[in-house]
Each structure stands twice: as C-alpha cells, then as structure tokens.
Amino acid sequence: MTAPGERVVVRAPAKINLALRVGALDDDGYHDVVSVYQAVSVFEEVSASLPRDGVTGVTVSVRGTGAASTPLDGTNLAVRAAHLLAERAGVPADVALSIRKSAPVAGGMAGGSADAAAALLACDLLWGTGAGRDELERMGAELGADVPFALMGGTALGVGRGDQLTPVLARGEFHWVLAIADEGLSTPAVYRERDRLLAAAGEDAPVLEPELPADLAQALRSGEPAALGAALVNDLQDAACSLRPALRRLLDLGRDHDALGAMVSGSGPTVAMLVPDRTAALELAVALTASGLASDVRRVTGPVHGARQVDAVAPSPFHPSTGSTPTIR
C-alpha cells in the first residue's frame, strides 16, 4: 500500500462497436449479443488517493465532459468498483477518487465503464491488493458488460452479454470522426425499442453465432479502412434512430462527405464515421461542425491500449470539483 497522500492516476479508453449483433431477450432480462469492440483515443482518467485527516469511505469528484450529469453517489460505477475491490481484497474501502471525463455520458461509448476499469486498476495499485488483470476483468464483468474491455483495450470479440472477451488481430491504425450529441440515450430504452421494432415487423431476433464475422475479420487483418467501413454493422442503429431521428441526418452527412462507413456507436447517440486518413478526418470534422448537427466533433484513432497507469505522485492534494464531495460508505 502506498503512503497517505500519494495518488495513482490511471487512464482507460472509451470504445466504439465495429459490430453489434443483438439476439433475443433472455430469461435473466438481458439480450444475448455478439460485439466487436475497438478502443479509441478518448480516455477517462481516474486519480485515486488515500484520504487525509481521518476521512474514511469513498469520496468522488468529477470534472470534464458531462460532469454535471455524472452521479456522485453509490450509483457511480467508479465508486462501485472501489467498493467491490475492497470487499474482495479484504481492505478498508478508503479512497478519494477524482474523475476527469472525456467520453460523452450515455453516448454509447462506455465512458462510465471506462471509469470503473480505471478505478479498479488505480485502487489495486494504491492499496497494493495485487489483483491480476484476469481477476480485475472478472470483477469488471460484475459491474458492467463493457468494463472488462476497457481494461483490455485493443480490438476484441465479446459474446454472452459482451463481457466474454477474445482479443482480435487488427493491423494498422484506423481514423474515426465522432459526432457527439448534447443529450444521451438510455441503453435499456434503445434495447426495448429494438424489441418493439422487431415485434411490429413480425420478425424474430436472430440466432447469433458466437464468432467474429468473416468480412470484419478479414478487414481487420488487412488493415484496409475501406474493407472495414463496408463491414460495420449495428443491430441497435434503427432503434436509436427511431428514438432520435436526427441521427439519420448525421449518418447521411457522413456518407455524403465520403466516409468509408458511418454507424451509431453502441446504443448511441454518438455517431462514428470511418475515414481513410488524418486529412480526410479533418475535412469531415469541419463539415460536421459547420452543419450544427452535433454538439461536439472529435477526431480519434484506434485501436489503443486498455487501462494503464500514467502517473504516480507523492504527495499531491485531492482537488474536488466544484460543489460538495460526498462520502459514500
């Protein structure tokens, strides 16, 4: 365990779904999914410090993108991650967490899951619990289906709820432009809309094969952006567009400006557009910004690494965000 006042800083990536196939609703209330994740260069940063002045419990502060709408209580995934690790390791759950957010809240990029992944690793390093990556990933799966991937990073196939991961070979670097909305979408609401649309069309959910789609596997092995663009698929896209019709205008704009592929990321509403290189990314970003259809436009690359320590400083005071910093016990 580190000395009081020290801090550990960990960054974990957000993700986009290169493929998201959705099966039937299971008895446990979850849908079977087959997902291909890619970690992209949007990072959540979590600083973990031992509390000072006799403070106990988990404190949390948030700054950055969507900070005002991020919970500061026990529903925050980073807080839950700290408590889970402390319980499994048999150590006191005493830590001050400071989160700097970059991923959109409820944007389909698993920003909250990245917070949880970063908190797990940061607390493990701070407390000296010695949990291995496999053990952290197992705990992450208890917190949410996307948490293990934020720990792993890279490109991976996820089956079951999306948390049973197999790394996937992806050559080269892919360039993406993200169009981010100013209001998120509820993931459960998007899944319910998917079920409603299928029922209205008299269709059944597909029976999923728990394997990497052949065209996507070939595209990733080749590193050819055009092939990857043609292989992108998201079974939740129609549902997200049904709930947020303006997303179709974003998708059309991306295709009109020669994006190699454009899709809603996960349950949305972030739209990810694949382009061949940095120059094309800049040109598309300018067009998206000028359109006024997105509140934020970002140029990112993938795949990138999973959660890792980026800084460790002693001593360093804990800087709370504006407003109160509650204690969660």
For residue 207, pLDDT beyond 60: yes
pLDDT at 281: 97
List residues with catalytic annotation: 15, 146
What value, to the nearest 5°, has the Cα angle with vertex 293 and ends 149 and 22?
Answer: 35
| pLDDT for 256 | 93
**Helix and strand numbers, DSSP H then E, in the chain:** 10, 13
Percent of the chain scored above 70 by pLDDT?
Answer: 93
| pLDDT above 80 (res 264) | yes
What's the whole-number mean pLDDT along residues 78-96? 96
Q: What percent of the chain has pLDDT over 90?
A: 75
Which of 73-82, 127-136, 199-208, 305-314 has the lowest average pLDDT?
A: 305-314
The answer, yes or no, to whether residue 119 has pLDDT greater than 80, is yes
Instruction: Give per-residue pLDDT as tens, 235-250.
Output: 999 999 999 999 999 9
Q: What gap in Å lies between CA 318 and CA 98, rounded to an integer?
A: 8
- 């959705």: which residue's tokens? 22
pLDDT at residue number 312: 52
Q: Where would I find the H helices in the chain?
A: 77-89, 111-127, 133-143, 147-152, 187-200, 214-222, 225-231, 237-243, 246-256, 278-291
Residue 324 has pLDDT above 50, yes or no: no
Average pLDDT, the chain: 90
Q: Give the torsion through C-alpha atoms of 71, 75, 81, 84, to 10 deg.
A: 150
For residue 198, the model assigns a pLDDT of 95
What confidence score (pLDDT) does residue 214 get? 93
Q: In what order do the strands lie in the sheet with 296-302?
A: 261-264, 271-275, 174-180, 296-302
Q: Exposed/middle/buried for 203, CB within 10 Å: 0-12, 13-18, 19+?
A: exposed
Residue 313 has pLDDT above 70, yes or no: no
Model pLDDT for residues 132-166, shown as the tens digit of each residue: 999 999 999 999 989 999 999 999 999 988 889 99
Of 263 and 311, the one with more pLDDT: 263
CB 123 within 8 A of CB 48: yes
Specify the amino acid at residue 175: H
- Between CA 95 and CA 100, with CA 99 as vertex, the angle to 5 degrees is 155
Helix-strand-coil split of the chain, %, nearest 5? 35, 30, 35
Indicate if the pLDDT at residue 317 is higher than 70: no
Please report the pLDDT score of residue 24 as a whole number: 87
pLDDT of amino acid 319: 31
Tell me: pLDDT of 320 over 70: no
- Residue 32's pLDDT is 87
